[in-house]
């Protein structure tokens, strides 16, 4: 076999191994807490598909990501990043807020 064919076969083999694992991993969606605000304050995601919110707190105080509609709350210490798995959502708007600083709020828009 020539070298090029070997590389193609190796790539196909890797794709077969990595493919299902990648398909099973929900996409990650970044959310920042900075200067007392969520950035962005509207997080757009696909409806009917789970995802992982990757929340980074750039502030110097702990925050608590909380959403009644999502039945989720998670402390995000100052300067840290946490991951929160969110179930597949029907199309709609899902408000969230920082339970330690309630005027800091945002929403997830699933569409
Ligand atoms: Cu709370």
Q: Which residues have CB less than 5 Å away from ligand 1 (the ion)?
A: 64, 66, 73, 99
How many A from CA of 99 to the centre of ligand 1?
5
Kindly provide the residue ranges of all beta strands, DSSP E only, lying in 1-111, ordered along the sequence. Answer: 28-34, 37-39, 42-45, 51-57, 63-67, 72-76, 81-86, 92-98, 105-110
Distance 111 CA to ligand 1 centre (A): 26
| Three-class DSSP category at 82 | strand
pLDDT at 44: 97
pLDDT of res. 13: 57
Task: Establish whether the linkage from the previous residue to 78 is cis, with ω within 30° of 0.
Answer: no
39, 46, 59, 106 from 110: Cα distances, Å:
17, 5, 27, 13
Report how far ligand 1's centroid is from the alpha carbon of 93 (Å).
Answer: 20
Ligand 1 center to 35 CA (angstroms): 20
Number of H helices, E strands in the chain: 1, 9
The tens-digit pLDDT sequence of the chain (111 residues) is 666 655 555 565 556 555 555 567 899 999 999 999 999 999 999 999 999 999 999 999 999 999 999 999 999 999 999 999 999 999 999 999 999 999 999 999 999
How confident is the model at residue 24, as a pLDDT?
73
- Kindly state the tokens that stand for 108: 């997830």
Reported pTM: 0.78
pLDDT at residue number 84: 97
Can you tell me the distance from the alpha carbon of 6 to that of 18, in angstroms, rounded to the nearest whole number?
18
Give residue 100 CA to ligand 1 midpoint distance, Å. Answer: 8
User: Domains of the chain (ranges plus CATH)?
Assistant: 26-110 (2.60.40.420)
């Amino acid at each position: 076999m020539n070298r090029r064919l070997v590389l193609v076969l190796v790539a196909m083999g890797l794709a077969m191994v990595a493919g299902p694992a990648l398909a099973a991993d929900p996409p990650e969606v970044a959310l920042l807490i900075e200067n007392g605000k969520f950035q962005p304050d509207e997080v757009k995601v696909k409806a009917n598909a789970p995802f992982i919110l990757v929340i980074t707190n750039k502030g110097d105080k702990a925050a608590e990501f909380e959403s009644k509609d999502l039945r989720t709350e998670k402390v995000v210490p100052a300067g840290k990043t946490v991951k929160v798995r969110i179930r597949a959502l029907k199309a709609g708007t899902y408000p969230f807020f920082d339970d330690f600083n309630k005027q800091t709020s945002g929403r997830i828009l699933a569409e």
